[in-house]
C-alpha cells in the first residue's frame, strides 16, 4: 500500500548524522550524542536505525515505491534532506523502539506514523513478535500515535527521565501475529498511504 508515496525510508548511514543531530537537538531535552548514533549504525548488531526523506523523482514524478528496509542500495539516490528518523533494538523477540523524531518543520504530515509502521514491518521481518517503548506521561501526542498502532500502557515507570524526573509509560503491542493487530496495521497503512500520496509541499 505504501508503494506510491513520495517519501523514502531507508537505513540510516553515517553521512546522515549531521542532519539527524539537528533534529535530535530540536526534539529532545535528553538528546543522544552523535557518537551514540554512530555506535548504533556501525557496531550494534541488534540495532536498526532508519531515516525518511523525500523520494527521488523519476521523469518528473515521485518514485513509485517505498524503498524496503535493507533492500536496494542504502545511501544512494538521496534526493532530499533527512526529515525524520527512528530506531529499535531487537531484544530476543521484542522490538524495543529506542527513538523516533521528525523535523519540527515537517511534523503533522504523517511522517512519524510512516516511521513507526516501517519499524514494525522491519521488526517483524527480523523475527520480533511484538514492539515495546517508553514515552513521557505528558507526551499525549505520541501516546495517541502509539495507541493508534496497537500499543497499550502496561506499566508506569517512576522518575524515569533524569532531566525532570518525569514518569514514563511502558507501552507494548499485542503479538504481531494476532488478527486484531494485523487488521489494525492494515487499516492504518491504507489510511497512511492515502494521506502521504500527495507530493510534499515545496521547501519554504
Q: What is the pLDDT along the chain (204 residues), one digit of tens a residue?
A: 566 688 999 999 999 999 999 999 999 998 999 999 999 999 999 999 999 998 876 434 434 333 443 334 444 454 589 999 999 999 999 999 999 999 999 999 999 999 999 999 999 999 999 999 999 999 999 999 999 999 999 999 999 999 999 999 999 999 999 999 999 999 999 999 999 987 656 655
The angle at the Cα of 99, spanning 97 to 101, to the nearest 5 degrees, equals 130
Residue 99 gets which letter from DSSP?
A: E
Residue 78 gets which letter from DSSP?
A: -
pLDDT at 5: 82
Rounded distance, CA 26 to CA 7, Å?
22
Is 43 an active-site residue? no
Helix (H, G, I), strand (E, B) or coil at 130: strand
30 in Cβ contact with 139 (< 8 Å): no
Q: Comparing C-alpha atoms, which of 60, 50, 198, 43 is closest to residue 121?
A: 50
pLDDT at 192: 95
pLDDT at 202: 63
15 in Cβ contact with 38 (< 8 Å): no
Q: Comparing C-alpha atoms, which of 124, 186, 116, 101 is closest to residue 151?
A: 116
* Catalytic hit among 7, 37, 85, 146: 146
Q: Which three cell numbers stand for residue 14?
A: 553515517
Reported pTM: 0.87
7 in Cβ contact with 198 (< 8 Å): no
Q: Out of 3.40.630.30, 3.40.50.720, 3.20.19.10, 3.10.310.30, which CATH number does the structure's domain 7-196 have?
A: 3.40.630.30
How are beta strands 168-172 and 152-157 bridged, if at all? Answer: antiparallel
* Catalytic hit among 34, 134, 160, 161: 134
Is 169 an active-site residue? no
Q: What number of other Cβ atoms are within 10 A of residue 69's Cβ? A: 19
Amino acid at each position: 500500500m505504501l508503494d506510491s508515496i513520495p517519501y523514502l525510508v531507508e537505513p540510516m548511514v553515517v553521512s546522515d548524522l549531521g542532519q539527524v543531530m539537528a533534529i535530535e537537538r530540536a526534539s529532545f531535552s535528553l538528546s543522544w550524542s552523535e557518537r551514540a548514533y554512530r555506535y548504533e549504525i556501525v557496531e550494534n548488531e541488534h540495532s536498526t536505525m532508519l531515516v525518511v526523506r523525500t523520494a527521488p523523482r523519476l521523469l518528473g514524478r515521485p518514485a513509485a515505491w517505498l524503498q524496503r528496509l535493507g533492500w536496494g542500495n542504502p545511501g544512494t539516490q538521496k534526493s532530499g534532506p533527512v526529515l525524520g528518523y527512528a530506531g529499535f533494538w531487537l531484544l530476543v523477540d521484542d522490538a524495543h523502539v529506542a527513538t523516533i523524531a521528525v523535523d519540527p518543520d515537517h511534523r503533522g504530515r504523517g511522517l512519524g506514523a510512516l516511521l513507526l509502521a516501517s519499524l514494525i514491518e522491519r521488526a517483524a521481518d527480523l523475527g520480533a513478535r511484538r514492539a515495546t517503548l517508553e514515552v513521557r506521561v505528558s507526551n499525549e501526542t505520541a501516546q495517541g500515535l502509539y495507541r493508534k498502532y496497537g500499543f497499550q500502557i502496561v506499566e508506569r515507570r517512576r522518575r524515569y527521565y533524569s532531566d525532570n524526573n518525569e514518569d514514563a509509560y511502558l507501552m507494548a503491542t499485542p503479538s504481531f501475529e494476532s488478527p486484531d493487530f494485523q487488521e489494525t496495521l492494515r487499516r492504518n497503512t491504507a489510511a497512511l498511504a492515502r494521506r502521504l500520496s500527495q507530493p510534499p509541499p515545496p521547501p519554504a
